[in-house]
Amino acid sequence: MKLYDTHAHVNLAAFKEDREEIITQALQAGVIINNVGTQKDTSKKAVDLTKGRENVYAVIGLHPVHTISQEIDEEESHFISREEHFDYEYYKALAGDPKVVGIGECGLDYYRLPEDKTLEEVKTTQKQAFLEQIRLAKELDKALVIHCRTQNGSVDAYEDILELLKTEKPPRFEIHSFTSNWDMAQRFLELGGYIGLNGIITFDKSGVLKEVIKNCPLERIVLETDAPYLAPPPYRGKRNQPEYVQYVAQYIAEVKGLSFEEVCEKTTLNAKTLFKI
């Protein structure tokens, strides 16, 4: 296999008509897939999708937006988040499946705030669920897959996550869909983390992510699609899928002045190290 999509959601409803084809297509193109859960049912679905398939793995956990019920309405997603408390024993039992390679996506999301809660209430609830998932990752020696989204123009959630990682010390972790600057990236690298990059890098006009790509050692980058979201060109605006991780690799190769093959090979190896495959 030549590429590793470390973060896809073929387990979500966006793929209910053609899950099988989408997975088969990616596997035939040489892409290893992690399907990532966002709460109980989607985590279970991610595990179900590993059955009878080589090179398909699952990451299970509770996304911070699902710790609170609210209506999410954005360019690429519109749904009512279903509130759930992190059920430690449920996820621990699910993680007993050998194809579960990580816990997440978990973390902090201060971008999408419900109208009926204060920021402090949201922070407390999300932090609690995040800490529990770090505890599970430590107990089971699994990689932690971290979601981080800040309030516009700030680095608040990144700072809070750094603080928690320093005290809680999960065994291995990645910052999925990294969107901050090189200074911030270095602080996660110092803690031994990996930087997860997806289609966002191809539409960032600020040049900030280009700096991250140029400076970050290839040994610490893992690739992802976050499908069905964030499709890179030439599929911008369409539904994303694991096979398109190749365009993320292509862009990194261009920015770093490396061959496409080298980026594929090294980032796949990185992901295998991170997820102990």
CB of 174 or CB of 226, closer to Zn ion = 226
CB of 106 or CB of 263, closer to Zn ion = 106
105 is in an annotated binding site: yes
Judged by the rule CB under 5 A, the positions of this chain that interact with Zn ion are 226
CB 7 → Zn ion: shortest distance, Å? 6
CB of 137 or CB of 253, closer to Zn ion = 137
CB of 226 or CB of 253, closer to Zn ion = 226
Tokens of 122: 């949201």
Q: Shortest Cβ contact with Zn ion: which residue?
A: 226
Distance (Å, whole) CA 208 – CA 223: 18
CB of 7 or CB of 127, closer to Zn ion = 7
Q: Which of 59, 14, 12, 67 is CA-nearest to residue 32? A: 59
CB of 22 or CB of 253, closer to Zn ion = 22
CB 212 → Zn ion: shortest distance, Å? 19
Own/partner contacts of 262-268, CB < 8 Å, gap of 24 or more, are 262/218, 263/218, 264/2, 264/3, 265/2, 266/218, 266/219, 266/221, 267/3, 267/4, 267/218, 267/221, 267/222, 267/223, 268/1, 268/2, 268/3, 268/4, 268/32
205-240 burial by CB neighbour count: b if 16+ within 10 A, else e?
Answer: eeeebebbbeebebebbbbbbbbbbbbbeeeeeeeb
Distance (Å, whole) CA 59 – CA 139: 15
CB atoms within 10 A of CB 188: 24
CB 110 → Zn ion: shortest distance, Å? 16
CB 200 → Zn ion: shortest distance, Å? 12
CB 118 → Zn ion: shortest distance, Å? 26
**Sign of the C-alpha dihedral computed for residues 134, 58, 213 and 3 taken in this order:** positive
66 is in an annotated binding site: no
CB 103 → Zn ion: shortest distance, Å? 14
CB 183 → Zn ion: shortest distance, Å? 24
Query: Distance from first CA to last CA of the chain, Å, rounded?
Result: 13
**What residue ranges in the chain does DSSP mark as E strands?**
3-8, 31-36, 56-60, 70-73, 78-81, 100-109, 143-149, 172-175, 194-197, 221-223
CB of 226 or CB of 243, closer to Zn ion = 226
226 is in an annotated binding site: yes
63 is in an annotated binding site: no
Annotated binding site for a divalent metal cation: which residue ranges?
A: 7, 9, 105, 147, 176, 226
Annotated binding site: which residue ranges?
A: 7, 9, 105, 147, 176, 226
